[in-house]
Amino acid sequence: MKVLRNILTPMMVALALSSCNPTTKTEEKPVTENQEVSLEQEVQILKNDKGDSIALTYFAKGDKVALKLKINQEEHELEAKGSNDKGDPIFTDDEYAWELMSDARSGKLTDKNKVSNIYRMD
């Protein structure tokens, strides 16, 4: 009888413990190979000394950073093209170049006629 109790007691404890563990099912969404997560920052409004304003939105474009520039009711998409001699990033398209300054709150916008303006956040 003692032998039977020594065998059955551990079995009953193991059975009780295994039935107490809740099993939860997690639903996983399939990820497709072409699925891309949109990484877009909030819009930043900057002004120059004349009171003109621009809107900037930094976003991920593939494995690089790009910039949406809204100026004079036109929107331009500028791509990262390296950095200036101070190491600040430069974004360009056919019409504009944006150089983000070290404080990350201002920058220099240069148009295709080489006219530059400094813009700052309020």
For 66-112, the pLDDT digits (tens) are: 999 999 999 999 999 999 999 999 999 999 999 999 999 999 999 99
For the beta carbon of residue 36, count every other beta carbon within 10 angstroms. 9
Strand, coil or helix: 94: coil
Q: Which of 3-7, 27-31, 117-121 has the highest mean pLDDT?
A: 117-121
The residues spanned by each domain of the chain are 44-121
Q: Six-digit token pair at 84?
A: 């200036």
Q: Contact, 90 vs 84, CB < 8 A? A: yes
CATH class, range 44-121: mainly beta
